[in-house]
Structure 1
Amino acid sequence: MLKWFSIVCSMMYVFATTNTAEVLKVPLFVQHFIEYEGNLAEFVMEHYDNHKEDSDWATDQKLPFINPPIVLMVNAQLPEITFRIEKPTEITVSREKSTYQEKDFPSLYLSRIFQPPRFS
């Protein structure tokens, strides 16, 4: 029951928010084509290529995709982004002598490959 309810709700949403509802007008298209005297190419060219008002204008306006409804309009506005490039400031690095001395570490640690840096 829940599955069918979710399917029905999904279909209602799709038909309400997209032009998929125009597909439901296909039987009218077929019926109008059967009444038309000519082939399919002539029918499509006459009804979908700058159609002029004629005796069956009201029926022609009900054909699928003649007047599709505007179902969703998105208006997105991006914020204005400005860049300001400033001159970089000087970075000064002091080269003070380290307070590292070998007597501060056990000799076992100093014999390993990874040792603290030595400044002379």
Structure 2
Amino acid sequence: MKKATAILLLFVYLFGSTEASQLLKFPLLVEHFKKHKQENIHITLASFLKMHYLDEQPFDKDYQQDMQLPFKTVDIICMTLPTVIPAPVTLFTPVIELPEEDYFILNDGPPPYRLPDNVFQPPKSVSAQLS
């Protein structure tokens, strides 16, 4: 029962809001081809389709029948517009509180860039070192 309902709703949607309803005009295409076949026995299906769908349509005696063929005119039966309602926007940022912990410091001395001043001294002469 659910499957049949789903198929029915699918067909209602397809034929109501898309151009699939043009497929229901297929018997008109067959009848119109038979009519052309009676008038000209050498006409093929490909030449018939080219004449009615690719070539420019002259305004002749069967112009009204030509315009009733499938996919010749646009039949807008239903127009659906999808609507998206955006979620409300929040303008605050959450505050993350970090837990307070005691950290064990391994090197409690001066930082490495603060070396003692006496390490980097200009070179001394030999006589100054002997005295």
Q: TM-score category by the smaller chain?
A: 0.5 to 0.7
How has the CA–CA distance of structure 1 residues 102 and 69 changed in structure 2, closer, same or farther, with 3 Å as cutoff?
same
- Cα deviation for residue 69 of structure 1 reads 2.7
**In structure 1, what is the Cα distance between the partners aligned to 2:106 and 2:5?**
78
1:79 aligned partner:
none
1:45 paired with 2:37, answer no
**In structure 2, what is the Cα distance between the partners aligned to 1:17 and 1:62?**
19
Match of 1:119 among 93, 108, 111: 111
How has the CA–CA distance of structure 1 residues 46 and 119 changed in structure 2, closer, same or farther, with 3 Å as cutoff?
same
- Superposed, 1:17-28 pairs within 5 Å as 17-28=17-28
- Between stretches 39-48 and 21-30, larger displacement belongs to 39-48
1:64 aligned partner:
70
- Cα deviation for residue 39 of structure 1 reads 1.9
Larger Rg: 2
**In structure 1, what is the Cα distance between the partners aligned to 2:46 and 2:107?**
95
Runs of 4+, deviation exceeding 4 Å: 70-74, 100-103
- Between stretches 35-44 and 65-74, larger displacement belongs to 65-74
How many residue pairs align between the two structures? 82
**In structure 2, what is the Cα distance between the partners aligned to 1:72 and 1:50?**
29
**Does the CA-based 8 Å contact 2:23-2:70 persist in structure 1?**
yes
Specify the code of the residue in structure 1 equivalent to 2:56: N
Structure 2: 5+ residue stretches without partners: 82-104, 113-131
- Superposed, 1:78-93 pairs within 5 Å as none
**In structure 2, what is the Cα distance between the partners aligned to 1:4 and 1:23?**
21
- What TM-score comes out, normalization by structure 1 length? 0.55
1:55 paired with 2:75, answer no
1:30 aligned partner:
30
Structure 1: 5+ residue stretches without partners: 75-99, 104-117
